[in-house]
Amino acid sequence: MVTCGRHTLTFLTPFWEGFTCWLGNLTIWDLILIFWLFIAVDLTRSIGKPLFLLTHSLHTKLKPKKPPPAFNPKISVIIPAYNEENAIAKSIESALNADYDYKEIIVVDDGSKDNTYQRANFFASDGRIKLVHRDYSSGSKAGALNYGILFASGEVLVTVDADTLIEKNALKEIVQPLSDPDVVAASGKVGILSGENGSKNLLVRLQEYEYFLAFEVGRPFNSVMGTIMIISGAFGAFRGREMKNLGQYDKDTITEDFDLTIKLRKLGKKIVYANKAVAWTLSPFTWKSWRKQRIRWTRGEAETLWKHRNVLRRRGFDLRSVVSTWDMLFMDVILLVLRAVWFVSLAYMFSASLVYVLFLSLIMYLVMEMFVVVFAVGHSRRLRDLRHMLLIPVMVLIYRPYYAVIRLKAYFDWLFKKKTEW
């Protein structure tokens, strides 16, 4: 029971009347006490990133532009595949049709038990691609990629997942940043084409929304700041020389793309985001397969952060690498715990008015999310992306909270060394 002015509010009081009365009695200190986490983290990051990118864009437009130097290195496109009979042909076709002449395409059939080899051999039989077959699976994507690299002769290595299609100009665009001798790797833009079964349901559209914000706001910001931490395994480019110097992909983590990116960062290498290099991939169609994917990603992140924990101490490492690693640790691990503590503390301190606190929180998060989506649409310059606005309530109320629970479970499973079947 809460007292508001002369009126005593109970569950029989109309909700809106009770909410507005409660809101009117809040002081600035009440707001800070209740929403300290929202103000300190969510608001500053969600609003700060778009504003920073907008300012940077205006500044860049005012600067005189120099034409990029001619850069046309040989590219080795490596496509690792394990039991991808339904997707491999389209992936190969998209690579063959890419508008870049000086390229070779290497498909690694990593001991597939289906017809992946036969589907890929259709293109290898007339010499359009190199097809490498392994009788037994290496047990990891990293192993398949490393095997493919042995057959690569290109100056630049481009990795493409077997369920991913690249746009016609994607190879030209992803190789351009490497014309800068200081850049050793570039991350492409990845969007969701459809679910694994070829159609779209609510879950697929939510992932489409998730990727949209990540590649229209998150990656551009990290690229400008020089803090890219993950080159998507679905589509990325690397200097072949640097890959060989690093010893290629390690097989001791299940997120080889994250691990490789940190290895490059530890060497002080420059990694950028190629916004116009676009690829489309398939996403989980069922909640069960989505959970398995996200548990894999989360556990892989924990493995990799633990493996490279020496970066957190900075000794001998680039400051940006240290800051970006701490940032990922805070946002993806520590913040999960802080949110749980925040919610429990609210339930304890504001038990009588918790429903109003949660309702105001919902309004604030919805408004903030709308701002971010509008900015992302402006950045993408595609009005059709406004359709994502319809998913904001589901994303804020269901998808992200559920994903947070999945991540917490995955971290605890990793911490207590619980085995998980992928």
Q: Which two tokens stand for residue 270?
A: 């420059």
Whether 338 is covered by a domain: the verdict is no
421 part of a folded domain: no
Neighbours of 347 (CB within 10 A): 12
pLDDT at 3: 53
Confidence (pTM):
0.90
How many domains does the structure of the chain reveal?
A: 1
**Average predicted confidence (pLDDT) for the chain:** 90
User: Which tens digit of pLDDT belongs to each residue from 14-37?
Assistant: 888 888 888 888 889 989 989 999
Instruction: Give yes or no for residue 189 having a pLDDT over 70.
Output: yes
84 inside domain: yes
Q: What angle do CA 200, 189, 120 make, to 5 degrees?
A: 70
Binning pLDDT at 50, 70 and 90, where does residue 12 land? low
Q: How far is CA 153 from the centre of its chain?
A: 29
Rounded Cα gap, residues 329 and 341, in angstroms: 17
Q: Residue 51 has what pLDDT?
A: 94
For residues 275 and 182, what is the distance between their CA atoms, to the nearest angstrom? 18
Judged by average pLDDT, the poorest of 84-98, 264-278, 360-374, 391-405 is 264-278
- CA dist 28 and 106 (Å) reads 61
**Amino acid at site 122:** F
What confidence tier does 1 reach under pLDDT thresholds 50, 70, 90? very low
pLDDT at 422: 42
**Angle subtended at Cα 334 by Cα 217 and Cα 186, rounded to the nearest 5 degrees:** 35
**140 CB neighbour count, 10 Å cutoff:** 19
Above 60 in pLDDT, residue 6? no
What pLDDT does 161 receive?
Answer: 95
* More confident position, 233 or 66: 233
* CB environment 222-237: b (16+ within 10 A), e (fewer): bbbebbbbbbbbbbbb
Residues 294-299 have a mean pLDDT of 94
Residue range(s) defining the domain that contains residue 147 = 75-285
Q: Residue 411's closest CA among 326, 298, 328, 335?
A: 298
Domain-located, residue 232: yes
Whether 341 has a pLDDT exceeding 50, the answer reads: yes
Classify residue 185: in a domain, yes or no: yes
143 in a structural domain: yes
Which pLDDT score is estimated for 419? 67
CATH number where 104 lies:
3.90.550.10
pLDDT value for 11:
53
pLDDT tens digits along 45-73: 999 999 999 999 888 877 777 777 778 99
Confidence of residue 362 (pLDDT cuts 50, 70, 90): very high
In a domain, 133, yes or no: yes
Report pLDDT for 420. Answer: 56
Confidence band (pLDDT; 50, 70, 90) for 351? confident
- Asked whether residue 174 carries a pLDDT value surpassing 90, the answer given is yes
The whole-number pLDDT of residue 2 equals 47
Residue 121 lies in a domain: yes
3-state secondary structure of 306: helix
